[in-house]
Each structure stands twice: as structure tokens, then as C-alpha cells.
Amino acid sequence: MPVCRDIATLRDTLRGGEGAIGLVPTMGNLHEGHLALVRACRQACDVTVVSIFVNPTQFGPSEDFGNYPRTLDDDLRYLREARVDHVFAPAVDDMYPQGRDGQVTVSLPALANTLCGASRPGHFDGVATVVAKLFNIVAPDKSFFGEKDWQQLTLIRAMARQLDMRVEVVGVPTVRESSGLALSSRNIYLSDDERRRAATLNRVLTWIKTAVEEGCRDYSSAEERGSRDLAEAGFDVDYVAVRDAERLCPPDAETASLRILAAARLGRARLIDNVGATI
């Protein structure tokens, strides 16, 4: 499994190859959620490329860029076992030779400033910029993203569509522990007690989903009760929101299906999760 550490080498390695190329962008510290993306990619494509890059431009100044778990040796072992064809693990200087301030960036529409974007200014522009660069470097036919980051998936789909990128963006369902807790690299920040309480996040979302599917249309009250339940379980709540699944706006007459999303801090970990609901 070739591991390419710079853009030129990856391009040379992929040049002239045949068949559909699939890309799984990651920031490493791989878990079963990432491996589900790899499996989906291998099933749909002839060549699977996994990128491992902790992208500085999507972290705010007070966020965990410095401490973000970097576990390249373990990651490479998992990817070899998962029979990945190529790994792309570039250095920051290779991806951003102009530095952060000199970098041309993708600027997303207002949707990027709501939900997670409201408390993480610039985060989604940083994500979109690195993903656009990865799309240009790898030129994949398909690229795979977890549904756990639903707002990210929605924005990357919008970017690919509106900037006429020829890649198909594929969403892969969230992988969960048996408690319902969505797998995430940031779960390592949870103590044992917090890990037990963290399962409340998915329980609250599932409760709202059931209420909505049983006819509740008072979304604000459902959001408020969800926030209260999370606060009682010790979370510092960022948001609990019932949204149109595609446009992520509050539900309106055109809404065909809903997504119920939440973000909340538990100790050092900022956890996010979402579930779909039919109406």
C-alpha cells in the first residue's frame, strides 16, 4: 500500500491508472466509522485512496488542532488490513505552501454560519477549502463522507454541485457504539462516566424523531425539551435543531424530510450527532 507524503508523488502514482477512483478524506485517528467509509468506497470504486491530513484551516484559534489525536502508524495498519490502494498523508507545508493567510479559500454560503458554524466561525470554509484541494489533487469519481457530520456533508455536496466539480459526493450512515453513541475521534476525550452519559445525546435525538414521526409539529418545544434533557445529563448544549434534511433551514411547506441535529459539550469533548425523520 503506497503511502504518498506529497502532492506530486500522489499525482505520479495515480497517473494513467484505469477504473473509477474513490477518495475517503480523513484526519486520521481512524475508527470503525472511517472503515465503513473505506468499505463503501471499495465496493463502489476500482481504486481506493484514503487521505490523512489534520487540516489546520478548519480549526479555530482556541480549538484542539495541536492536541488532535495523530496515530499514523495504527491508521496505516488498519488501512493495510482494509486493503486500501493508496494513502495520501501530506505535510501541512505541502498543502499550504503560502501559509494560512496567503491561501485562496472556498467561501461557503450563509448555511455555513448556522448550527455548528455559528460557534465555529470559518470552520466550514476551512473544510471546503481542503476538500476542494483534495478533489483537485486526487480527481476522484466518488468521495465518501460520514452522515454524522450532516452539515459538512450538505455543504460539500453544495460546493461540488455549485462549483461544477465532477465528483459524486456519497454519504455513509453513522456507525454507533451499542449505547447509541456515534463513533468519533473526539470520544477519546471522554472519561468513563462521561462516556456513559454521552449516550443521552442519541437518546434525545431519537426521542424527538419518534415524537415528530408520531405527529408532533411543535418543533421549538421539542428542541427546548431536548436541550433541557441534555443539560440535566451534564451537557453544555450548543444547539438542538429540527431542520429540513436537504436545505438545513427550519421546516417549511417544501420540506420533504427532516434531520434532527445536536451539538453539545461534555467535559473536554464537543459531540455532534443527527438522525433523520420522515413527515
Shortest separation between residue 202's beta carbon and ligand PAF, angstroms: 19
Number of residues that bind ligand PAF (CB under 6 A): 10
Question: Would you state the cell numbers that stand for residue 213, as one nine-digit string?
Answer: 414521526
Residues whose CB is less than 8 angstroms from the CB of residue 145 and which lie 6 or more positions away in sequence, other chains included: 25, 37, 152, 153, 156, 169, 170, 171, 172
Residues 24-43 that bind ligand PAF (CB under 6 A): 25-27
Residues forming beta bridges with residue 24, ordered by sequence position = 50
Question: Would you state the cell numbers that stand for residue 16, as one nine-digit string?
Answer: 494513467
Shortest separation between residue 230's beta carbon and ligand PAF, angstroms: 23
Instruction: Decide if 31 is catalytic.
Output: no
Shortest separation between residue 16's beta carbon and ligand PAF, angstroms: 27
Does residue 55 belong to the site contacting ligand PAF (CB under 6 A)? yes
- CA-to-CA distance for 14 and 138, rounded, in angstroms? 8
Stretch that binds ligand PAF, among 2-10, 124-132, 239-247, 257-265 (CB under 6 A): 124-132
Nearer to ligand PAF, 155 or 222 (CB): 155
Residues 63-122 that bind ligand PAF (CB under 6 A): none
User: What mask, x for binding ligand PAF by CB under 6 A, covers residues 152 to 191?
Assistant: x---------------------------------------
Nearer to ligand PAF, 33 or 251 (CB): 33
> How far are the Cα atoms of 61, 132, 268 from residue 190, in angstroms, in the given order?
22, 32, 7
- Contact criterion met (CB below 8 Å) for 180 and 153: no
Stretch that binds ligand PAF, among 74-82, 106-114, 125-133, 226-234 (CB under 6 A): 125-133
Contact with ligand PAF (CB under 6 A) among 40, 45, 127, 240 = 127
Nearest to 277 by CA among 207, 212, 199: 212
Residues whose CB is less than 8 angstroms from the CB of residue 96 and which lie 6 or more positions away in sequence, other chains included: 56, 57, 103
Q: What are the φ/ψ torsions at residue 139 (nearest 5 degrees)?
A: 50, 55
- Residue whose cell numbers read 426521542: 207
Judged by the rule CB under 6 A, the positions of this chain that interact with ligand PAF are 25-27, 55, 58, 127, 130-131, 149, 152
Report, as residue numbers or ranges, the catalytic residues.
34
